[in-house]
């Protein structure tokens, strides 16, 4: 059974410090992905394009929410895939068929997320973009 805290002020300070360290670790992981994963740069460019287009089209809150969710899904899949690859490399430095399966399945998860995001982007961004383009060309 946990002991009651005898010095709550220090416990709060320790909690805050440990949360700060957690954020440092998370940002270090984020930096690692951006620094080492070529596909992360593709995701970054796609994210920037989607955000710029959505802002230009002045999407409503619901559409923004849908785009944020699918963008986060792709980034989350990429981060988990990168972590999986690192753990597989650590556990199996030599080539092994199951190590390959783990890496391939992780990559497939990113592909599924990216495909779903692309389809969502077309459904959300397509109609207002088409309307805007038709207005420009007089149709």
What are 62-79's pLDDT values in tens digits?
Answer: 999 999 999 999 999 999
pTM over 0.75: yes
| CATH T-level fold of 39-137 | Helix Hairpins (1.10.287)
| Residue whose token pair is 């796609």 | 46
| Confidence band, pLDDT 50/70/90 cuts, at residue 113 | very high
CA atoms within 13 A on the CB side of 111: 6
Tokens of 52: 């710029």
All structural domains of the chain with their residue ranges: 1-36, 39-137
Known active-site residue 66:
no
Catalytic residue among 78, 81, 110, 124: 78
What letter does residue 139 receive in the DSSP assignment? -
| CA distances to 16, 37, 78, 106 from 86, in Å | 29, 12, 12, 11
């Amino acid at each position: 059974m946990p002991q009651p805290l005898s010095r709550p002020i220090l416990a709060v300070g320790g909690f805050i410090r440990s949360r700060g360290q957690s954020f440092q670790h998370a940002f270090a992981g984020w930096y690692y992905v951006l620094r080492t994963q070529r596909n992360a740069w593709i995701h970054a460019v796609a994210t920037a394009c989607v955000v710029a287009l959505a802002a230009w089209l002045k999407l409503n809150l619901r559409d923004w929410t849908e785009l944020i969710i699918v963008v986060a899904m792709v980034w989350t899949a990429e981060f988990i895939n990168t972590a999986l690859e690192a753990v597989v490399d650590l556990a199996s430095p030599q080539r092994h068929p199951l190590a390959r399966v783990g890496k391939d399945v992780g990559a497939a998860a990113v592909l599924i997320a990216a495909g779903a995001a692309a389809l969502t982007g077309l459904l959300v961004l397509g109609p207002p973009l088409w309307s805007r383009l038709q207005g420009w060309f007089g149709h």
